[in-house]
Structure 1
């Protein structure tokens, strides 16, 4: 598992870590049921605080991406994440709203915005990195 973190980014490290793990699952780089490094091990490998890794893992657990077992450790949910439902769509809409508003303010067309999203979808479907 290869994780890229940008320590200069305005995005918190735990959020970047969470996003990298989700992206790895989406690209099939991390298989369902596959074990992830322990909190301590991953923190040491990345050179970050173990509380940062723990926060990312806890959010991933809460969102159904991983399971945390006392004996097995951290594992990608073998059943996969719960499919998108009305609640997910509502949350996604609220997440996208500021991004779309900024794109409109910057003069981006709807077609260009949709095209950009389609390109990103294709990258994940092909297993490509950004």
Structure 2
């Protein structure tokens, strides 16, 4: 798994790690059962504190994206094809989406441009490739 993070960016490093893992799952690069590097290994690879990676993994675990156990380490728990999301996910996701759409509105993106860009992002995910657009 190749992660690209910006050590000097405004987004916290743990959030960048979380986001890149979620994107890798959506792209089909990580599938259900895929093992993630240990916190210490990923921290060493990225030259960051392992507590930062631990925070990202814990967030992913809380969100139901990975499972962590002492024997197998961190493993992808689900992929997009594994069925509907857990109860409550849609409401939480909609709250975050509201903020992103508010940002687009504040910066002057119109409805059609916003929808076009959303469609492009959805179509870019590897797990959607080969499907007919909905």
TM-score w.r.t. length of structure 2? 0.84
Residues 14, 85 of structure 1: alpha-carbon distance in 2 compared, 3 angstrom cutoff? same
Cα shift at 1:86:
6.1
Structure 1, residues 37-67: CA drift from partner, whole Å, max 9, x if none? 1110110011111000000011111111111
| 2:51 alignment counterpart | 51
* Structure 2 runs not aligned, ≥5 long: 130-134
Cα shift at 1:28:
1.1
Deviating more after overlay: 47-56 vs 91-100: 91-100
Residues 105, 73 of structure 1: alpha-carbon distance in 2 compared, 3 angstrom cutoff? closer
Equivalent pairs counted in the alignment come to: 125
Matched, 1:60 2:60: yes
TM-score w.r.t. length of structure 1? 0.87
The within-5 A match list for 1:1-130 is 1-77=1-77, 79-80=78-79, 83-84=84-85, 87-124=88-125, 125-126=128-129
Deviating more after overlay: 46-55 vs 101-110: 101-110
Cα distance in 1 for partners of 2:114, 2:59 equals 28
* Structure 1 runs not aligned, ≥5 long: none
Cα shift at 1:85:
5.7
Cα shift at 1:101:
2.0
* Contact kept? 1:64, 1:82, Cα under 8 Å: no
Cα shift at 1:7:
1.3
